[in-house]
Chain A
Amino acid sequence: MGGREATMVLLDENGIRCDGRKIDETRKIMIKAGVLKNADGSAYIEFGDNKILVGIFGPRDVHPKHMSDTDTGILRVRYHMEPFSVTERKNPAPSRREIEISKVIKEALEPAVMLEKFPRTAVDVFIEVLQADGGTRCAALSAASVALADAGIPMRDMVAACASGKVADTIVLDVNNEEDQAGQADMPIGYMPNLKKITLLQLDGILTSDEFKKCVDVGINGCKIVYELQKKALTDKYFGNGSN
Protein backbone atom coordinates (compact mmCIF):
# COMPACT_ATOMS: atom_id res chain seq x y z
CA MET A 1 0.00 0.00 0.00
CA GLY A 2 0.89 3.71 -0.05
CA GLY A 3 1.19 4.33 -3.78
CA ARG A 4 4.61 2.95 -4.55
CA GLU A 5 5.71 3.15 -8.16
CA ALA A 6 4.39 0.26 -10.18
CA THR A 7 6.11 -1.07 -13.25
CA MET A 8 2.84 -1.86 -14.99
CA VAL A 9 0.35 0.75 -16.16
CA LEU A 10 -2.54 0.51 -13.71
CA LEU A 11 -4.74 2.99 -15.55
CA ASP A 12 -4.11 4.25 -19.08
CA GLU A 13 -5.10 7.64 -20.56
CA ASN A 14 -8.42 6.21 -21.82
CA GLY A 15 -9.40 5.08 -18.33
CA ILE A 16 -8.74 1.40 -19.05
CA ARG A 17 -7.28 -0.71 -16.23
CA CYS A 18 -4.48 -3.29 -16.31
CA ASP A 19 -6.92 -6.15 -17.01
CA GLY A 20 -8.88 -4.23 -19.66
CA ARG A 21 -11.77 -3.12 -17.44
CA LYS A 22 -13.30 0.36 -17.14
CA ILE A 23 -13.12 2.07 -13.74
CA ASP A 24 -16.72 1.20 -12.83
CA GLU A 25 -16.68 -2.36 -14.08
CA THR A 26 -16.49 -5.58 -12.02
CA ARG A 27 -14.60 -8.68 -13.10
CA LYS A 28 -16.59 -11.50 -14.65
CA ILE A 29 -18.84 -13.03 -11.97
CA MET A 30 -20.55 -16.41 -12.02
CA ILE A 31 -22.56 -17.72 -9.05
CA LYS A 32 -24.17 -21.12 -8.80
CA ALA A 33 -26.44 -22.30 -5.96
CA GLY A 34 -26.75 -25.88 -4.71
CA VAL A 35 -23.52 -27.54 -5.84
CA LEU A 36 -22.92 -30.03 -2.99
CA LYS A 37 -24.80 -33.22 -2.19
CA ASN A 38 -24.19 -33.54 1.55
CA ALA A 39 -24.39 -29.90 2.63
CA ASP A 40 -27.75 -28.38 3.64
CA GLY A 41 -27.02 -25.46 1.35
CA SER A 42 -24.12 -24.55 -0.91
CA ALA A 43 -22.86 -22.13 -3.52
CA TYR A 44 -19.93 -21.77 -5.88
CA ILE A 45 -18.64 -18.42 -7.08
CA GLU A 46 -16.13 -17.45 -9.72
CA PHE A 47 -15.21 -13.82 -9.29
CA GLY A 48 -12.55 -13.06 -11.88
CA ASP A 49 -9.91 -15.72 -11.16
CA ASN A 50 -11.21 -16.35 -7.64
CA LYS A 51 -12.88 -19.74 -7.24
CA ILE A 52 -14.70 -20.24 -3.95
CA LEU A 53 -16.95 -22.98 -2.62
CA VAL A 54 -19.29 -22.50 0.37
CA GLY A 55 -21.18 -25.20 2.26
CA ILE A 56 -23.79 -24.68 5.01
CA PHE A 57 -24.79 -27.11 7.76
CA GLY A 58 -27.59 -26.35 10.19
CA PRO A 59 -29.36 -25.24 12.14
CA ARG A 60 -27.98 -28.21 14.08
CA ASP A 61 -26.88 -29.20 17.59
CA VAL A 62 -24.02 -27.18 18.98
CA HIS A 63 -20.89 -29.10 19.74
CA PRO A 64 -19.15 -28.34 22.12
CA LYS A 65 -22.34 -27.73 24.11
CA HIS A 66 -21.08 -24.80 26.18
CA MET A 67 -20.98 -22.66 23.01
CA SER A 68 -24.76 -22.86 22.64
CA ASP A 69 -26.98 -19.91 23.51
CA THR A 70 -30.43 -20.49 25.01
CA ASP A 71 -31.76 -17.25 23.49
CA THR A 72 -30.57 -17.55 19.93
CA GLY A 73 -28.84 -19.69 17.36
CA ILE A 74 -25.19 -19.02 16.68
CA LEU A 75 -23.39 -18.56 13.39
CA ARG A 76 -19.96 -20.11 12.91
CA VAL A 77 -17.82 -19.25 9.93
CA ARG A 78 -14.59 -20.85 8.75
CA TYR A 79 -12.75 -19.18 5.90
CA HIS A 80 -9.99 -21.45 4.63
CA MET A 81 -7.60 -21.37 1.69
CA GLU A 82 -6.35 -24.49 -0.06
CA PRO A 83 -2.55 -24.93 -0.17
CA PHE A 84 -2.66 -24.67 -3.99
CA SER A 85 -4.92 -21.59 -4.13
CA VAL A 86 -2.08 -19.06 -4.20
CA THR A 87 1.23 -18.65 -6.04
CA GLU A 88 3.46 -19.86 -3.17
CA ARG A 89 2.09 -23.05 -1.57
CA LYS A 90 0.23 -22.05 1.58
CA ASN A 91 0.60 -24.00 4.80
CA PRO A 92 -2.73 -25.83 5.26
CA ALA A 93 -3.08 -24.75 8.92
CA PRO A 94 -5.30 -21.66 9.51
CA SER A 95 -3.31 -18.42 9.48
CA ARG A 96 -4.03 -15.27 11.53
CA ARG A 97 -5.33 -13.66 8.35
CA GLU A 98 -7.81 -16.49 7.75
CA ILE A 99 -9.03 -16.30 11.35
CA GLU A 100 -9.63 -12.55 11.06
CA ILE A 101 -11.46 -12.92 7.75
CA SER A 102 -13.63 -15.69 9.23
CA LYS A 103 -14.61 -13.27 11.98
CA VAL A 104 -15.43 -10.28 9.76
CA ILE A 105 -17.48 -12.48 7.41
CA LYS A 106 -19.38 -13.94 10.37
CA GLU A 107 -20.17 -10.46 11.64
CA ALA A 108 -21.19 -9.39 8.15
CA LEU A 109 -23.66 -12.27 7.82
CA GLU A 110 -25.15 -12.15 11.33
CA PRO A 111 -27.40 -9.11 10.71
CA ALA A 112 -28.94 -10.91 7.73
CA VAL A 113 -29.72 -14.27 9.33
CA MET A 114 -32.72 -14.71 11.66
CA LEU A 115 -30.76 -16.74 14.18
CA GLU A 116 -33.19 -15.90 17.02
CA LYS A 117 -35.64 -18.38 15.46
CA PHE A 118 -33.31 -21.28 16.27
CA PRO A 119 -32.20 -21.08 19.91
CA ARG A 120 -29.54 -23.59 21.11
CA THR A 121 -28.48 -24.41 17.55
CA ALA A 122 -25.58 -23.54 15.29
CA VAL A 123 -25.41 -22.70 11.62
CA ASP A 124 -21.99 -23.58 10.22
CA VAL A 125 -20.65 -21.74 7.20
CA PHE A 126 -17.62 -23.39 5.61
CA ILE A 127 -15.81 -21.29 3.02
CA GLU A 128 -13.13 -22.95 0.91
CA VAL A 129 -10.99 -20.77 -1.35
CA LEU A 130 -9.90 -23.07 -4.18
CA GLN A 131 -8.11 -20.32 -6.10
CA ALA A 132 -7.41 -16.79 -4.88
CA ASP A 133 -6.87 -13.64 -6.92
CA GLY A 134 -7.58 -10.62 -4.74
CA GLY A 135 -10.96 -9.80 -3.21
CA THR A 136 -11.62 -13.27 -1.81
CA ARG A 137 -13.44 -12.01 1.28
CA CYS A 138 -16.04 -10.16 -0.82
CA ALA A 139 -16.54 -13.08 -3.17
CA ALA A 140 -16.73 -15.46 -0.20
CA LEU A 141 -19.29 -13.29 1.60
CA SER A 142 -21.47 -13.04 -1.51
CA ALA A 143 -21.35 -16.80 -2.04
CA ALA A 144 -22.02 -17.49 1.66
CA SER A 145 -25.23 -15.42 1.48
CA VAL A 146 -26.44 -17.45 -1.50
CA ALA A 147 -25.53 -20.71 0.25
CA LEU A 148 -27.45 -19.67 3.40
CA ALA A 149 -30.51 -18.87 1.28
CA ASP A 150 -30.05 -22.20 -0.53
CA ALA A 151 -30.07 -23.95 2.87
CA GLY A 152 -33.51 -22.44 3.47
CA ILE A 153 -32.42 -20.46 6.50
CA PRO A 154 -34.71 -17.46 7.11
CA MET A 155 -32.97 -14.22 6.22
CA ARG A 156 -33.83 -10.54 6.33
CA ASP A 157 -31.81 -9.88 3.19
CA MET A 158 -28.78 -11.24 1.38
CA VAL A 159 -25.41 -9.60 1.88
CA ALA A 160 -23.76 -8.65 -1.39
CA ALA A 161 -20.12 -7.67 -1.34
CA CYS A 162 -17.68 -5.91 -3.63
CA ALA A 163 -14.51 -3.91 -3.07
CA SER A 164 -13.75 -0.43 -4.29
CA GLY A 165 -10.40 1.25 -4.08
CA LYS A 166 -7.97 3.88 -5.26
CA VAL A 167 -5.67 3.07 -8.12
CA ALA A 168 -3.51 5.65 -9.93
CA ASP A 169 -5.32 8.46 -8.02
CA THR A 170 -8.70 7.28 -9.31
CA ILE A 171 -11.55 5.59 -7.42
CA VAL A 172 -12.25 2.25 -9.09
CA LEU A 173 -14.65 -0.65 -8.55
CA ASP A 174 -13.56 -4.21 -7.70
CA VAL A 175 -9.82 -4.01 -7.05
CA ASN A 176 -7.98 -7.05 -8.45
CA ASN A 177 -4.82 -8.68 -7.14
CA GLU A 178 -2.36 -6.50 -9.11
CA GLU A 179 -4.21 -3.32 -8.17
CA ASP A 180 -4.33 -4.41 -4.54
CA GLN A 181 -0.54 -4.94 -4.51
CA ALA A 182 0.37 -1.74 -6.39
CA GLY A 183 -2.67 0.46 -5.75
CA GLN A 184 -3.24 3.10 -3.09
CA ALA A 185 -6.32 1.86 -1.25
CA ASP A 186 -8.60 -1.16 -1.03
CA MET A 187 -12.00 -1.04 0.63
CA PRO A 188 -14.14 -4.20 0.79
CA ILE A 189 -17.83 -3.48 1.38
CA GLY A 190 -20.61 -5.87 2.36
CA TYR A 191 -24.10 -4.41 1.89
CA MET A 192 -27.72 -5.50 2.27
CA PRO A 193 -29.41 -3.69 -0.63
CA ASN A 194 -33.01 -4.10 0.58
CA LEU A 195 -32.30 -2.95 4.11
CA LYS A 196 -29.68 -0.42 2.91
CA LYS A 197 -27.22 -1.51 5.60
CA ILE A 198 -23.47 -1.90 5.38
CA THR A 199 -22.40 -5.02 7.31
CA LEU A 200 -18.75 -5.33 6.29
CA LEU A 201 -16.34 -2.49 5.85
CA GLN A 202 -12.59 -2.52 5.90
CA LEU A 203 -10.00 -0.21 4.43
CA ASP A 204 -6.31 -0.16 4.00
CA GLY A 205 -4.72 2.75 2.24
CA ILE A 206 -5.14 6.50 2.45
CA LEU A 207 -8.22 8.39 1.21
CA THR A 208 -9.31 12.02 1.59
CA SER A 209 -12.81 12.43 3.02
CA ASP A 210 -14.18 13.20 -0.46
CA GLU A 211 -12.50 10.14 -1.87
CA PHE A 212 -13.89 8.11 1.02
CA LYS A 213 -17.47 9.18 0.21
CA LYS A 214 -16.93 8.39 -3.46
CA CYS A 215 -15.39 5.03 -2.59
CA VAL A 216 -18.37 3.98 -0.45
CA ASP A 217 -20.73 5.08 -3.20
CA VAL A 218 -18.84 3.17 -5.92
CA GLY A 219 -18.58 0.08 -3.69
CA ILE A 220 -22.32 0.04 -2.93
CA ASN A 221 -23.05 0.22 -6.65
CA GLY A 222 -20.81 -2.81 -7.09
CA CYS A 223 -22.72 -4.63 -4.35
CA LYS A 224 -25.97 -3.96 -6.22
CA ILE A 225 -24.51 -5.58 -9.35
CA VAL A 226 -23.47 -8.63 -7.31
CA TYR A 227 -26.92 -8.72 -5.64
CA GLU A 228 -28.67 -9.20 -8.99
CA LEU A 229 -26.36 -12.14 -9.78
CA GLN A 230 -27.02 -13.67 -6.35
CA LYS A 231 -30.77 -13.52 -6.96
CA LYS A 232 -30.25 -14.99 -10.43
CA ALA A 233 -28.29 -17.94 -9.01
CA LEU A 234 -31.21 -18.76 -6.71
CA THR A 235 -33.92 -18.32 -9.35
CA ASP A 236 -31.87 -20.48 -11.73
CA LYS A 237 -31.80 -23.27 -9.18
CA TYR A 238 -35.36 -23.08 -7.88
CA PHE A 239 -37.32 -21.91 -10.94
CA GLY A 240 -35.41 -23.60 -13.75
CA ASN A 241 -33.78 -20.89 -15.83
CA GLY A 242 -35.97 -18.23 -14.26
CA SER A 243 -36.75 -15.08 -16.16
CA ASN A 244 -34.78 -12.75 -13.94
Chain B
Amino acid sequence: MASKSVIDELKKTQILELLDKGERVDGRALDEPRELSIEINAIPKANGSAKVRLGDTEVLCGVKIQPDRPFPDMGDKGIFICTAELLPLSHPTVETGPPQPHVIELARVTDRGIRESHMVDVSQLVIEKDKSVVGVFADIVVIDYDGNLFDACSYAATAALLTSTSPKWTMVDDKPTIVEGAESPLPTTTIPVSITMGKIGNHIIVDPNGDEWASMDARITITTNSDGNICALQKGGNDGFTQEEIIQCGEISVRVGAKIREKLKEAQQSGQ
Protein backbone atom coordinates (compact mmCIF):
# COMPACT_ATOMS: atom_id res chain seq x y z
CA MET B 1 0.00 0.00 0.00
CA ALA B 2 1.00 3.61 0.07
CA SER B 3 2.87 3.57 3.36
CA LYS B 4 5.43 0.95 4.23
CA SER B 5 5.45 -0.67 7.64
CA VAL B 6 8.32 -2.10 9.70
CA ILE B 7 7.19 -5.62 8.88
CA ASP B 8 7.55 -4.85 5.18
CA GLU B 9 11.20 -3.86 5.67
CA LEU B 10 11.85 -7.17 7.42
CA LYS B 11 10.08 -9.10 4.69
CA LYS B 12 11.99 -7.20 2.06
CA THR B 13 15.29 -8.59 3.36
CA GLN B 14 13.90 -12.10 3.16
CA ILE B 15 12.36 -11.55 -0.30
CA LEU B 16 15.67 -10.18 -1.62
CA GLU B 17 17.71 -13.05 -0.14
CA LEU B 18 15.39 -15.56 -1.80
CA LEU B 19 15.53 -13.73 -5.15
CA ASP B 20 19.32 -13.86 -5.07
CA LYS B 21 18.87 -17.65 -5.04
CA GLY B 22 16.35 -17.37 -7.90
CA GLU B 23 13.32 -18.07 -5.70
CA ARG B 24 10.18 -16.18 -4.71
CA VAL B 25 8.35 -16.09 -1.37
CA ASP B 26 5.36 -17.99 -2.74
CA GLY B 27 7.43 -20.47 -4.77
CA ARG B 28 6.66 -19.03 -8.22
CA ALA B 29 9.14 -18.65 -11.06
CA LEU B 30 10.26 -15.04 -11.59
CA ASP B 31 8.14 -14.67 -14.75
CA GLU B 32 5.14 -16.61 -13.46
CA PRO B 33 1.89 -14.74 -12.69
CA ARG B 34 -0.38 -15.96 -9.90
CA GLU B 35 -3.40 -18.10 -10.64
CA LEU B 36 -6.06 -16.12 -12.49
CA SER B 37 -9.74 -16.96 -12.18
CA ILE B 38 -12.45 -15.05 -14.01
CA GLU B 39 -16.14 -15.21 -13.17
CA ILE B 40 -18.24 -13.79 -15.98
CA ASN B 41 -21.63 -12.12 -15.44
CA ALA B 42 -21.22 -11.75 -11.67
CA ILE B 43 -23.62 -8.76 -11.78
CA PRO B 44 -26.56 -9.66 -14.03
CA LYS B 45 -27.94 -6.08 -13.84
CA ALA B 46 -24.87 -4.70 -15.60
CA ASN B 47 -24.48 -4.97 -19.40
CA GLY B 48 -21.36 -7.01 -18.76
CA SER B 49 -19.39 -7.88 -15.64
CA ALA B 50 -16.49 -9.92 -14.38
CA LYS B 51 -15.12 -10.83 -10.98
CA VAL B 52 -11.41 -11.52 -11.20
CA ARG B 53 -9.13 -13.16 -8.65
CA LEU B 54 -5.39 -12.86 -9.19
CA GLY B 55 -3.93 -14.80 -6.29
CA ASP B 56 -5.58 -13.17 -3.29
CA THR B 57 -6.29 -9.90 -5.07
CA GLU B 58 -9.97 -9.69 -5.97
CA VAL B 59 -11.63 -7.05 -8.16
CA LEU B 60 -15.06 -6.64 -9.72
CA CYS B 61 -15.88 -4.75 -12.89
CA GLY B 62 -19.36 -3.83 -14.09
CA VAL B 63 -20.00 -2.30 -17.51
CA LYS B 64 -22.91 0.08 -18.04
CA ILE B 65 -23.87 1.07 -21.57
CA GLN B 66 -26.19 4.05 -22.05
CA PRO B 67 -26.78 6.98 -24.42
CA ASP B 68 -24.70 10.06 -23.75
CA ARG B 69 -23.75 13.38 -25.35
CA PRO B 70 -20.55 13.17 -27.39
CA PHE B 71 -17.47 15.20 -26.50
CA PRO B 72 -17.60 18.47 -28.52
CA ASP B 73 -14.60 17.62 -30.74
CA MET B 74 -15.53 13.94 -31.15
CA GLY B 75 -19.10 13.93 -32.45
CA ASP B 76 -18.46 10.87 -34.62
CA LYS B 77 -17.22 8.67 -31.79
CA GLY B 78 -18.83 6.98 -28.82
CA ILE B 79 -17.49 7.35 -25.29
CA PHE B 80 -15.43 4.87 -23.34
CA ILE B 81 -14.57 5.56 -19.71
CA CYS B 82 -12.92 3.24 -17.24
CA THR B 83 -12.78 4.05 -13.52
CA ALA B 84 -11.21 2.19 -10.61
CA GLU B 85 -11.79 2.55 -6.90
CA LEU B 86 -10.28 0.89 -3.83
CA LEU B 87 -13.19 -0.04 -1.59
CA PRO B 88 -12.41 0.66 2.07
CA LEU B 89 -13.16 -2.99 2.88
CA SER B 90 -10.28 -4.13 0.66
CA HIS B 91 -7.49 -3.21 3.08
CA PRO B 92 -7.14 -1.69 6.58
CA THR B 93 -5.20 1.33 5.27
CA VAL B 94 -7.78 2.39 2.66
CA GLU B 95 -9.75 5.43 3.76
CA THR B 96 -13.03 6.82 2.52
CA GLY B 97 -13.07 10.19 0.84
CA PRO B 98 -11.50 11.60 -2.30
CA PRO B 99 -9.18 9.13 -4.08
CA GLN B 100 -5.48 9.09 -3.21
CA PRO B 101 -2.92 9.77 -5.98
CA HIS B 102 -2.03 6.07 -6.29
CA VAL B 103 -5.70 5.18 -6.87
CA ILE B 104 -6.01 7.90 -9.52
CA GLU B 105 -2.92 6.46 -11.20
CA LEU B 106 -4.44 2.97 -11.06
CA ALA B 107 -7.66 4.16 -12.72
CA ARG B 108 -5.83 6.12 -15.39
CA VAL B 109 -3.34 3.39 -16.24
CA THR B 110 -6.14 0.81 -16.51
CA ASP B 111 -8.18 3.19 -18.67
CA ARG B 112 -5.22 4.02 -20.88
CA GLY B 113 -4.26 0.40 -21.52
CA ILE B 114 -7.72 -0.40 -22.83
CA ARG B 115 -8.29 2.93 -24.58
CA GLU B 116 -4.96 3.00 -26.41
CA SER B 117 -5.41 -0.57 -27.64
CA HIS B 118 -8.63 0.66 -29.33
CA MET B 119 -10.33 -2.40 -27.90
CA VAL B 120 -13.76 -0.76 -27.81
CA ASP B 121 -14.65 0.28 -31.35
CA VAL B 122 -16.06 3.71 -30.51
CA SER B 123 -16.65 4.57 -34.18
CA GLN B 124 -19.52 2.04 -34.14
CA LEU B 125 -21.09 3.67 -31.08
CA VAL B 126 -22.72 6.68 -32.73
CA ILE B 127 -26.49 7.08 -32.58
CA GLU B 128 -26.63 10.45 -34.39
CA LYS B 129 -23.48 12.33 -35.29
CA ASP B 130 -22.69 15.32 -33.02
CA LYS B 131 -25.92 14.74 -31.09
CA SER B 132 -26.05 11.42 -29.35
CA VAL B 133 -23.60 8.57 -28.92
CA VAL B 134 -23.33 5.42 -26.84
CA GLY B 135 -21.32 5.70 -23.63
CA VAL B 136 -19.55 2.65 -22.25
CA PHE B 137 -18.62 2.88 -18.56
CA ALA B 138 -16.40 0.20 -17.08
CA ASP B 139 -16.37 0.76 -13.32
CA ILE B 140 -13.91 -1.35 -11.34
CA VAL B 141 -13.95 -1.84 -7.59
CA VAL B 142 -11.18 -3.52 -5.60
CA ILE B 143 -12.67 -5.95 -3.09
CA ASP B 144 -9.56 -7.56 -1.56
CA TYR B 145 -5.96 -6.39 -1.82
CA ASP B 146 -2.84 -8.51 -2.26
CA GLY B 147 -0.66 -6.52 -4.64
CA ASN B 148 -0.69 -5.83 -8.39
CA LEU B 149 -4.03 -4.09 -8.82
CA PHE B 150 -3.03 -2.83 -12.27
CA ASP B 151 -3.26 -6.25 -13.90
CA ALA B 152 -6.27 -7.49 -11.90
CA CYS B 153 -8.24 -4.33 -12.83
CA SER B 154 -7.22 -4.57 -16.46
CA TYR B 155 -8.25 -8.23 -16.75
CA ALA B 156 -11.58 -7.56 -15.03
CA ALA B 157 -12.41 -4.64 -17.33
CA THR B 158 -11.31 -6.53 -20.43
CA ALA B 159 -13.28 -9.66 -19.51
CA ALA B 160 -16.37 -7.58 -18.69
CA LEU B 161 -16.15 -5.67 -21.99
CA LEU B 162 -15.62 -8.85 -24.01
CA THR B 163 -18.84 -10.31 -22.61
CA SER B 164 -20.96 -7.13 -22.67
CA THR B 165 -24.12 -6.89 -24.71
CA SER B 166 -25.30 -3.51 -25.85
CA PRO B 167 -28.88 -2.40 -26.57
CA LYS B 168 -29.47 -0.53 -29.84
CA TRP B 169 -30.80 3.02 -29.90
CA THR B 170 -32.31 5.17 -32.64
CA MET B 171 -33.36 8.81 -32.53
CA VAL B 172 -37.13 9.24 -32.07
CA ASP B 173 -38.33 12.84 -31.60
CA ASP B 174 -34.72 13.90 -31.02
CA LYS B 175 -34.32 11.42 -28.16
CA PRO B 176 -32.38 8.17 -28.18
CA THR B 177 -34.90 5.34 -27.90
CA ILE B 178 -34.16 1.65 -27.37
CA VAL B 179 -34.94 -0.66 -30.29
CA GLU B 180 -36.52 -3.71 -28.69
CA GLY B 181 -34.87 -7.06 -29.31
CA ALA B 182 -31.83 -5.61 -31.09
CA GLU B 183 -29.15 -6.40 -28.53
CA SER B 184 -25.72 -7.29 -29.82
CA PRO B 185 -22.26 -7.89 -28.39
CA LEU B 186 -20.24 -4.72 -27.74
CA PRO B 187 -18.00 -4.16 -30.80
CA THR B 188 -14.39 -4.93 -29.83
CA THR B 189 -11.29 -5.13 -32.02
CA THR B 190 -8.53 -6.61 -29.87
CA ILE B 191 -7.76 -8.05 -26.43
CA PRO B 192 -5.34 -5.86 -24.48
CA VAL B 193 -3.37 -7.58 -21.72
CA SER B 194 -1.47 -5.68 -19.08
CA ILE B 195 1.58 -7.25 -17.42
CA THR B 196 3.08 -5.56 -14.37
CA MET B 197 6.63 -6.30 -13.36
CA GLY B 198 8.43 -5.25 -10.20
CA LYS B 199 12.09 -4.59 -9.72
CA ILE B 200 13.62 -5.69 -6.42
CA GLY B 201 17.39 -5.29 -6.28
CA ASN B 202 18.46 -6.37 -9.75
CA HIS B 203 15.62 -8.84 -10.18
CA ILE B 204 12.55 -8.45 -12.39
CA ILE B 205 9.46 -10.31 -11.18
CA VAL B 206 6.09 -10.68 -12.88
CA ASP B 207 2.84 -10.02 -10.98
CA PRO B 208 4.21 -9.01 -7.54
CA ASN B 209 2.02 -10.12 -4.61
CA GLY B 210 1.25 -7.84 -1.65
CA ASP B 211 4.55 -8.43 0.17
CA GLU B 212 6.60 -8.14 -3.00
CA TRP B 213 4.67 -4.99 -3.94
CA ALA B 214 5.66 -3.38 -0.65
CA SER B 215 9.32 -4.32 -1.22
CA MET B 216 9.66 -3.08 -4.82
CA ASP B 217 12.19 -0.46 -5.86
CA ALA B 218 10.40 0.22 -9.14
CA ARG B 219 7.68 -1.21 -11.32
CA ILE B 220 6.55 -1.17 -14.90
CA THR B 221 3.18 -1.97 -16.47
CA ILE B 222 3.17 -2.86 -20.17
CA THR B 223 -0.02 -3.50 -22.15
CA THR B 224 0.10 -5.51 -25.36
CA ASN B 225 -2.64 -6.11 -27.94
CA SER B 226 -3.69 -9.28 -29.79
CA ASP B 227 -1.00 -8.67 -32.46
CA GLY B 228 1.69 -8.77 -29.77
CA ASN B 229 2.40 -5.05 -30.09
CA ILE B 230 2.91 -2.77 -27.11
CA CYS B 231 0.14 -0.20 -26.78
CA ALA B 232 0.60 1.40 -23.36
CA LEU B 233 3.24 1.60 -20.69
CA GLN B 234 3.70 3.08 -17.24
CA LYS B 235 6.78 3.13 -15.07
CA GLY B 236 6.42 3.77 -11.34
CA GLY B 237 8.40 3.62 -8.12
CA ASN B 238 11.47 5.52 -7.04
CA ASP B 239 14.23 3.61 -8.80
CA GLY B 240 15.10 3.32 -12.50
CA PHE B 241 15.41 0.58 -15.10
CA THR B 242 18.38 0.09 -17.39
CA GLN B 243 17.76 0.02 -21.13
CA GLU B 244 18.41 -3.76 -21.14
CA GLU B 245 15.90 -4.24 -18.35
CA ILE B 246 13.21 -2.29 -20.24
CA ILE B 247 13.79 -4.43 -23.36
CA GLN B 248 13.60 -7.56 -21.21
CA CYS B 249 10.34 -6.34 -19.65
CA GLY B 250 8.91 -5.72 -23.11
CA GLU B 251 9.67 -9.30 -24.15
CA ILE B 252 8.21 -10.73 -20.93
CA SER B 253 5.01 -8.72 -21.38
CA VAL B 254 4.46 -10.13 -24.89
CA ARG B 255 5.24 -13.72 -23.88
CA VAL B 256 3.36 -13.86 -20.57
CA GLY B 257 0.59 -11.66 -21.98
CA ALA B 258 -0.15 -14.22 -24.71
CA LYS B 259 -0.97 -16.85 -22.05
CA ILE B 260 -3.23 -14.46 -20.15
CA ARG B 261 -4.98 -13.57 -23.43
CA GLU B 262 -5.91 -17.24 -23.88
CA LYS B 263 -7.52 -17.17 -20.42
CA LEU B 264 -9.51 -14.07 -21.38
CA LYS B 265 -10.64 -15.73 -24.61
CA GLU B 266 -11.79 -18.77 -22.61
CA ALA B 267 -13.77 -16.47 -20.33
CA GLN B 268 -15.30 -14.76 -23.36
CA GLN B 269 -16.41 -18.09 -24.83
CA SER B 270 -17.80 -19.29 -21.50
CA GLY B 271 -19.97 -16.17 -21.47
CA GLN B 272 -21.56 -16.86 -24.84
Contacts and interface: CB of A to CB of B under 8 A. Distances in A.
Given A37-B146, A78-B96, A85 B43 contact: yes
Given A84-B62, A92-B83, A128 B45 contact: no
A128 B87 contact: yes
A132 B46 CA distance: 11
A203 interface: no
Contacts of A84: 43, 45-46, 49, 62-64, 137, 139
B141 interface: yes
Contact of B64 (A51, A78, A83): A83
A89 B88 contact: no
A169 B229 CA distance: 64
A47 interface: no
B213 interface: no
B144 A130 contact: no
Contacts of B87: 55, 80, 126, 128
Contact of B92 (A57, A87, A130, A133): A57
B18 to A, nearest CB: 22
A84 B84 CA distance: 12
Given A83-B139, A89-B64, A36 B43 contact: no
- Determine which residue in A40, A55, A133 has the highest number of CB atoms from chain B within 10 A of its CB, and name it: A55
- Determine which residue in B42, B43, B56, B88 has the highest number of CB atoms from chain A within 10 A of its CB, and name it: B88
Contact of A53 (B66, B89, B92): B89
A123 to B, nearest CB: 12
Interface in B44-83: 44-46, 49, 56, 60, 62-64, 66, 83
A83 B137 CA distance: 9
A220 interface: no
Interface residues of A, number: 32
A27 to B, nearest CB: 15
Given A83-B137, A83-B139, A84-B139, A55 B62 contact: no
A55 B88 CA distance: 8
Nearest to B90: A38
Interface string B207-225: 0000000000000000000
A49 B45 CA distance: 9
B169 interface: no
B143 A86 contact: no
A69 to B, nearest CB: 20
6 contacts: A37-B146, A54-B89, A85-B43, A130-B42, A130-B60, A132-B45
Contacts of B43: 51, 84-85, 130-131
Nearest to B43: A131
Nearest to B138: A84
B141 A39 contact: no
A36 B68 CA distance: 36
Question: Which 5 A/B pairs are nearest by Cβ-Cβ distance?
Answer: A84-B62, A55-B89, A89-B64, A126-B89, A83-B139
B254 to A, nearest CB: 32
B83 to A, nearest CB: 7
A5 interface: no
B85 interface: yes
Given A82-B139, A92-B139, A42 B89 contact: yes
B261 to A, nearest CB: 24
A89 B89 contact: no
A39 B89 contact: yes
Given A37-B146, A38-B91, A57-B92, 13 more contacts: A36-B143, A36-B144, A38-B89, A38-B144, A39-B89, A39-B92, A40-B92, A49-B44, A49-B45, A82-B60, A82-B141, A126-B87, A128-B89
Contacts of B144: 36-38
B150 interface: no
Contacts of A124: 88
Contacts of A92: 83, 85, 139
B62 A85 contact: yes
Contacts of A54: 89
Contacts of B95: 63
Contacts of B143: 36, 53, 128
